[in-house]
Amino acid sequence: MASEPQLTKDYDRKIEQGSDTEDFQSQHQQTLESFADTEEERRLIRKFDLHILPITCLLYLFGSLDRSNLGNARLQGLPEDVLGGDKNGVLFDWMTSGFYFSYILVQIPACIISKTVPPRAFVAAAAIGWGTTSTFMATGFNFPSLMAARVILGIFEAGLAPVITVYMSLFYTKQELGLRLTLWFGFATVAGAFGGLIAFGVQHIHSSVQNWRLLFVIEGIPPIILGILTYFFLPNRPESTTVLNERERQIAMERMNRYMTADVGAVVNKAHIRSAFLDWRVYVAGVICFGLNTALASIGAFLPTIIQSFGHTNAIAQLLTVPPYVVSAVVMITFSFTSDRIQSRGVLMAVSSTIGAIGYLLLLVVHGNEHARYFATFCVTSGTYTTIGLIIAWFGHNLGSETKKATGIPLFIAIGQCGGILGSHLYPKTEGPRYIKGFAVGSGLLFLAAFCCVVLTISYRWDNARRDKLYGKPKPNTRVNTQELADKTPEFRYVP
């Protein structure tokens, strides 16, 4: 990797020597105004999109496939082959939740450690690790072996979501971040649709190897290949990547510091780690994510089973999982584009959470009308995936510094993933086809998530208004020095 450019060293030196001096601020503001919304900057954004989005989106696609393919494998004979039939579905539930135990425990340290190594190396190692683990799941011969593989899979996937969120915030401003993160996270819905199609195809393969084993191999090998490509082609941080020339690097560095002071290089601010743990809003976000991930785990592992309960064959149930994911991708992009344009997240998140809650409510109270119940699955997928995409983008800006993001984002995601454990146990076979407990809990938690979204957006609006009254409204594109106080800096403004 090339050595850090002199431009970055000079910029960092100015910050350390007092970037809040009037001369430096004036010079910085003039530079911002010369860069902001110019054709030169737009070309740079397109270059970021070309080099970052394809790789990161494919990574999340295959990560989501490997995480959720148990739901498809369940209908392809896995319980009968290695779980002794699993008549009550208890062993399958524990296999599903085993992923989340390690995922939760490893997430925060993984994200903090990622700040000390080149991003492409960290992400590449994670992808190769989970792809290898998923592939070897095809050799599972009993419950302990598959359970161990699921736990290892959670370790390798733990850092992906928060690390990519922090990584993208280095390249995109708050007006651009929401749509990009939603496009990236939207590949989880693509994975749901794609996974259904793959499972449908594998269902019709007649070979000496069980279909579920073929499924793990087919979906496990691509991330290994992609991980190798990631190491060579994913850009490192703007100040050190060789993808940019010096002029592009200058613009990229100014964009990093457009609304807050970015870290330069492998820096971890211990005070901001503590600040993240003490921020009550992070824990409210955790409550939101708890409800969302309860629904998400239920969808990933049990949607084929739920649709099968409508009276369809296994193969048709696999195929019918595709449309809900396709529609949810469209809804996600629409909501995120609107959110970026109006620079507001909380209200749209409350709406999308409510849509998901209504979907679960329909599944709970409507009986006999399979068309209405199938429509409800569209509401559940659209509402859940949309809200998760928006909350990641929300806190991708509102935590104020890279270190606080690297701590706060995996913290609330880890809290949320506890909902994944709950969601893995809400649909035992003994409660089918009504699944009253699962649908009721899903609906209640999504209504709670909607309420928490309203609380957060009101809180952010109140705090912005209070700071405007005390310190005056900041000028557009003014760089705010968040190195000491992160989002508590008086000049910092939240996206509500």
Q: Are 159 and 126 in contact (CB under 8 A)?
A: yes
Find, among 359, 362, 336, 360, the residue nearest to 439 by Cα: 360
- Rounded-to-10 torsion of CA 137, 139, 141, 144: -40
- Among all chains, which residue has been given the structure tokens 């011969």? 141
Query: What is the C-alpha separation between 242 and 251, in angstroms, rounded?
Result: 15
Between CA 2 and CA 7, with CA 5 as vertex, the angle to 5 degrees is 170
Look up residue 88 and give its DSSP letter: T
For residue 273 the two structure tokens come to 């780690």
DSSP-derived 3-state class of residue 237: coil
Exposure string (b/e) for 357-373, b if CB count within 10 Å is 16 or more?
bbbbbbbbeeeeeeeeb
Contact 97, 328 (CB under 8 A): no
| pLDDT given for residue 188 in this prediction | 78
Instruction: Report the pLDDT value the prediction gives residue 288, as an integer from 0 to 100.
Output: 97
pLDDT digits (tens, 9 = 90+) for 71-119: 788 888 888 888 888 887 788 888 888 888 898 899 989 988 888 889 9
Low-confidence spans in the chain with pLDDT less than 50: 1-22, 24-25, 28-29, 31-33
Residue type at position 245: N
Alpha carbon 345 to chain centroid, angstroms:
15
Structural domains present in the chain: 39-259 (1.20.1250.20), 279-495 (1.20.1250.20)
Classify residue 357 by its DSSP letter. Answer: H
pLDDT at 16: 45
The CA-CA-CA angle for residues 288, 294, 297, to 5°, reads 130
Report yes or no on whether pTM surpasses 0.85: no
Contact 223, 63 (CB under 8 A): yes
